[in-house]
Amino acid sequence: MKIMLNMAMGMMVLVSASLVQAQMKPAELTAAQSAFSAYGCTSCHDASSRIVGPSLKEIAARYKGKKVSAEVAKRIVEGSEGRWGTMPHPSNAALNQADAALLARWILAGAP
Ligand code: HEC
């Protein structure tokens, strides 16, 4: 019985650890949301409908479960072409690496 209990506790620790990893801290969420509008991303991206670029929902769905935040962050800074359609993604030299990484994580998490 004790062993079963220990196993159950271990499982709970594992589950909560992975939940924490997937979630972003409230401060990070706020920072990502304001960076998204401050850098003008909103003129081409909407949460759920396609404007010039794909919706944030579509992007999160396409990469769900894949470890791509580093390459996505790189494409946000350097630009991208031909992955979603014919419109190219502009490069964004004003965006620093930390903000790009934060935006990539936020978008891949479903832009909560
Ligand atoms: C001028 C319009 C425009 C602006 C501004 C813009 N995007 Fe995009 N974005 C696009 C287009 C078009 C694509 C699709 C590019 C392609 O097909 O490769 C795209 C694709 C993306 C993708 C998916 C990349 C991938 O790896 O598949 C992400 C993430 C993204 N944009 C985030 C952002 C963020 C964050 C900003 C603000 C810093 C931003 N975009 C600003 C037009 C824009």
Enter the CATH code of domain 2-108.
1.10.760.10
Residues touching ligand 1 (Cβ under 6 Å) are 39-41, 43-45, 52-54, 59, 72, 75-76, 80-85, 87, 89-90, 92, 95, 103, 107
Task: Evaluate if residue 2 carries a pLDDT over 70.
Answer: no
Handedness of CA 14, 19, 21, 27 (dihedral sign): negative
Phi, psi angle pair for 42, to nearest 5°: -65, -20
Q: Contact 35/99 with Cβ under 8 angstroms?
A: yes
* pLDDT at residue number 88: 96
pLDDT in tens, 4-59: 655 555 555 444 444 444 579 999 999 999 999 999 999 999 999 999 999 999 99
Distance CA 42, CA 38 (A): 9
pLDDT in tens, 51-80: 999 999 999 999 999 999 999 999 999 999
Helical H segments across the chain, by residue range: 2-22, 26-38, 56-62, 69-78, 97-108
What are the boundaries of each domain within the chain?
A: 2-108
